[in-house]
Structure 1
Amino acid sequence: MESIIEDYREYQTIIRGYTPKVVKATWRELKKLAQYLENLSINFQNVQLVHLENYCIERTESKSLGYRNVIISQLRSFFNYLVQQEFRLENPARHLRYTNLDLYQSLPEIASIEEIQDCLKELKRQIDSCLSRRQFDPIRKRNLALFALLYASGIRAGEAANLQIRDILWEEQVLIIREGKGRKERRVPVVNEILELLQIYLATRNDLEPNAPLFLTWRKEAMDNNLIGATFRKYHEMWEKSLRPHQLRHICASHLYQQGGNIVQIKDWLGHKRLTTTLHYTRIQNPEIEATLESHPINEMSCSSKPKLEIVNVSSQNKPLRRKYTMTPIAEPLTGKLAEQIQEFLRTAEGMKKYSKGTLKEFRFSLTRFAVGCPHCLEKGIEVLRAVDIIRWLSARRQAGISPCTIDKNLSHLRSFMAYVMLRQYHGPILRHLLLS
C-alpha cells in the first residue's frame, strides 16, 4: 500500500498539478487509512464500502462535518485513481454521501468592534510590559501585526503564512495574495495603521530580502497554517471570546457589511467565487431589522379578549368512533442476524449524518415491525429474503387496519435498508430484483 500511495502522490503533483498543501494533506490521510486497513488485515484491493464508512465515522468523531466531507472527497479521488490504473474494478467510495452542511451550520460567533479593540490593546500592553526582556520583543510585535492584518484584510491563515515581503506594496497600500485558495491571485487594500505595525515588526529583523517570508518563527523559519492557529490559542485565556484565525475573516466581512460595505465588493475582497459564500460570512443580526419590526402596523392593533370556554358534558354514545392503532408487541429486544444488520444500518446512518433523528426513529420502527413480521429472516438475516415474504408482511399490515400512507412509508424504509444491504455485498440473489421492481 505504501507504493500505491507514493504513486498517487506523484500523480497528484505532476499530472493533476495540485498544490503542495493539498498533496501533503491527501498523503497524510491515505497513510492513516492504510494503517486502519492494516489493523483489519485489509488492503486497497479488497476494501469495501462498510470499511470506508466505519473509517470516516471513527476518523471524524468530535470533528466538524466539513472535515468529513474533505475526507470523503479525498477517498473518492483516490479510488477513482485505482480504477483508472486497473488496481480495482469498481470504486467503493463513490457511495459515500456528502453531508449537507446547510442543515447543521450555525451562525458564526461575531465579536464586536469594542472586543477587537480590547484584544489589540492587550497585545500592545504586552509589548510595553516586556521592555526588560528584549528576546520576546520581536515575537510579540509579530503577533500584534499578524492579528491586526488578519482582522483588517480578512485573509486566510494559510495566505498570511505564504506572504513574502515583496507582496506588500507600501506606496499603493495594497497586499498581493499570490497563492490564495484555488491558486487565485488577488489584491487586498491595507490601511496605513496596519502598514505601520508591519514596519515596526520588520524593524526587529535583519533579513529583509524581497523573497523572504513576512512572518517568521523564533527559529527564523517561515510560519505555517498550524503554527498561526497555535499562536492564537495562547491568547484564549486573556480574551473574552475564543478567536481563531478564520473567525477574524468572518468578523472582518461582518464588520464591513455592518458599516455599509457593498456585498459584491466584499466578495472580491475575500476572494470568493460565489456571492452565496459571502452571504454566509455576513449572516449576522442586523440592527435595522429590529427597528423595522417595531414600526410594523400590527403593533398598533389590539386583539379582543378570548371568550371563556364552557365545558359541555358529552355522552359516550355521541362520541365519534376512532380506530385503535395497532402496536407491534415486543416483549424483549430482537435477537438474530437481521436485528444485527438493522442495528448496523442505523448506526452507519446516524454516524454519517444521512438522516435526521426523527427519520432514524421512523426507520427503527418500520424495520422492527418488518423483523417481527418475518421471523424466518430475523433468524437467518436479509440474505434469505424473498418476494413472497414482503408480500405476506404487507398483506398482514393491511389486514391489521394500517393506512395505505403508513404502509407506503414502511415499504420506502425497507427499500432504503435493502439498498444499503446490496452495497455491502452480503445480499441474496433475489434482493437486486426486489429493489429494482
Structure 2
Amino acid sequence: MAVKIIQLERLIHQKQVRLLVRFGFDDYFKNLVQELEGALWSNTLKSWHVDDTDENLTKIYAIFKDKVDIDDTFLVPIVVVKISEEAAVMLNDFTLWLKSKRYSPNTIKTYTESIKSFLKFYHNKPIAEITNQDVITFNNEYILANNYSASFQNQVVNAIKLFFKTVENKMIDVDLVHRPKRPKLLPNVLSKGEVKAILDAPTNVKHKAMLSLIYSCGLRCGELINLKPNDIDSCRNIVVIRNGKGKKDRITPLSIKILDLLREYFKKYKPSTYLFEGQNKGEKYSDRSLQLVLKQCLRKTKITKPVALHWLRHSYATHLLESGTDLRYIQELLGHNSSKTTEIYTHVSTKNLQLIKSPFDDL
C-alpha cells in the first residue's frame, strides 16, 4: 500500500502569508483539514490554506501525525517587506491627490499598488534620495528580473513619474528608463454566428439582456453594470453611457430587438437603482458574476476560444465596419479619443480581404 503524503508550503496568497496543506483527493484528509479554524479551499492554488500562525502549524502536525507522512521541505520562512512610515504617509497623500483629481478607482488602485512595490524595493532608502538611477535599477532588478509584462512596466514607470511630481515635487526623467515598445496586438473578434450562439445560450432573461446589450451597443463591462434605468431612452431609441472611460458621456443607438428584451427583463426583475442589480436590491451586478455567465454560455455553445466580455465590444465594432459604417461614427460610438485607436479594426475586418484572390488558386 502506497504511503500517503501531505505537503506543507508557505506562500503569499492575496497579499497574506498562508500555510498551504496539499494532498491528493481524499475525503478523509479533507475532513481533517476542515477541523482547522478558517481553513479555505483555493481553486487557484488547488490547495487548502490557513493563516500562517504557530498555533495552526502545531495543529496541522497534531492532526496528521501518525496518519500520513508530512513533507515540509517547502515550509520556508517568508520575510514580508513593509514600506517605511515616511513612505506610508506620502503614499496616502498621493492616493488623496488622485482622488481629488477624480481618477477612476481602478486607476487609483493600479497606481498605488505600483508605487507600493517600488517603495518596498527601496524600503531602507529615504525617498528624498531616490534618483533616476534608482528607477532604472528597479526596472532591471525587479520588473525585468521577475519577467513582468511590458504593460505592467509602463504602468509602474508612469506611476513613479506622477508620484514624484505631485508628492515630492521632483521630476523623474522616465526617458532614461528603457521602455518597451507596446506590442501591436489585434483585437479578438467573433463571427456573427458565434455571437448569435453565445447570446442565444442563456435561459435567464437577465443574463441574456446583459450580454446582448454589451454586443448591440459596444459597451465595456464597467459601462454596462453602471447603467441606470433612466439611461435607457426608449422614446429616442438610445442608450446614454455616463462617465465612461476618460470621464466622458456618450450615446449609442438602441436596437428595437434589445428594447423588447429589456422590457421583458424589467417586468420580471423590476430594478430600482441600477439597470442590472445583483442579489441585493440596489447593488450593481458584479463584473465577476457576468464573466461567469459568459463562461457558462461558452460551455453550452462548445466554443473553445478563450472569449472574454471585451470580445463582444470588438466584434460589434468590426461587424459595423464590415457592414459599411464610417470609421468616424464607430469612433464616436465606442468613445475613443483618437481615430488611431478605432483604425485597428480595419486590420481584422475580413470584408475586403475576402475579395483578394490568392495566387495559389491559379496553380
TM-score range, shorter chain: 0.5 to 0.7
Give the direction of change, closer, same or farther, for the CA distance of 1:11–1:106 in structure 2 (3 Å limit): closer
Q: CA RMSD in A?
A: 2.9
Letter in 1 for 2:114: E
Which residues in structure 2 correspond to 1:242-281 (within 5 Å)?
242-281=306-345
Deviations 1:162-218 (A, max 9, x none): 21111110121100011111111111011011122222222233443xxx1122222
Structure 2 CA distance for partners of 1:202 and 1:217, relative to 1, 3 Å: same
User: Structure 1 residue 96 and structure 2 residue 160: aligned?
Assistant: no
User: Would you tell me which structure has more strand in proportion to its own residues?
Assistant: 2
Residue 161 of structure 2 corresponds to residue 76 of structure 1? yes
Does structure 2 retain, via aligned residues, the 8 Å contact 1:153–1:190?
Answer: yes
Cα offset for 1:234? 4.7
**1:214 and 2:249 aligned:** no
Distance 2:118 2:286 in 1: 25
2:216 to 152, 168, 187: 152
Counterpart of 1:222, as a letter, is K
- TM (norm. structure 2) is 0.65
> For residues 234 and 79 of structure 1, do their structure 2 counterparts lie closer, same or farther at Cα, with a shift above 3 Å needed?
farther
SS at match of 1:163: coil
Bigger Rg over Cα: 1
Distance 2:225 2:175 in 1: 34
Q: Structure 2: which 5+ residue stretches go unaligned? A: 1-86
Percentage of identical aligned residues: 22
CA distance in 1, matches of 2:344, 2:213: 22
Among 113, 116, 133, the residue aligned to 1:28: 113
TM-superposed deviation, 1:246: 1.4
User: What's the counterpart of residue 6 of structure 1?
Assistant: 92
Whole-angstrom distance in 2 between the partners of 1:99 and 1:291: 36
Per-residue CA deviations over 1:257-285 (Å, capped at 9, x if unaligned) read 11111111111111112211111133215
Equivalent residue pairs, number? 270
More helix per residue:
1
8 Å contact from structure 2 (residues 318, 345) kept in 1: yes
SS of the equivalent of 1:203 reads helix
Q: Which whole-Å CA distance do the structure 2 matches of 1:236 and 1:42 have between them?
A: 50
Taking the TM superposition and a 5 Å limit, the aligned residue runs for 1:185-264 are 185-208=249-272, 212-220=273-281, 221-238=283-300, 239-240=302-303, 241-264=305-328
Q: Which runs of 5+ in 1 are unaligned?
A: 128-139, 303-437
Taking a change above 3 Å as real, the CA distance of residues 299 and 19 of structure 1, as seen in their structure-2 partners, is closer
Query: Using the alignment, how far apart are the partners of 2:129 and 2:247 within structure 1?
Result: 36
1:169 aligns with 2:246: no
> What SS class does the counterpart of residue 223 from structure 2 fall into?
helix
Match of 2:199 among 116, 120, 128: 120
Retained in 2: the 8 A contact 1:153–1:188? Answer: yes
Partner of 1:178: 242
The answer to whether the Cα contact below 8 Å between 1:162 and 1:213 also exists between their aligned partners in 2 is yes
Verify the 8 A CA contact 1:12 1:18 in the aligned structure 2.
yes
Please give the alpha-carbon distance, in whole angstroms, between the structure 2 residues aligned to 1:202 and 1:177: 19
Among 142, 152, 155, which residue is 1:55 paired with?
Answer: 142
CA distance in 2, matches of 1:189, 1:253: 13
Structure 2 CA distance for partners of 1:174 and 1:90, relative to 1, 3 Å: closer
- Contact 1:186–1:271 under 8 Å retained in 2: yes
What do residues 250-308 of structure 1 show as CA deviations (whole Å, max 9, x unaligned)?
110101111111111111111112211111133215343343446x9x999x9xxxxxx
SS in 2 for 1:254: helix
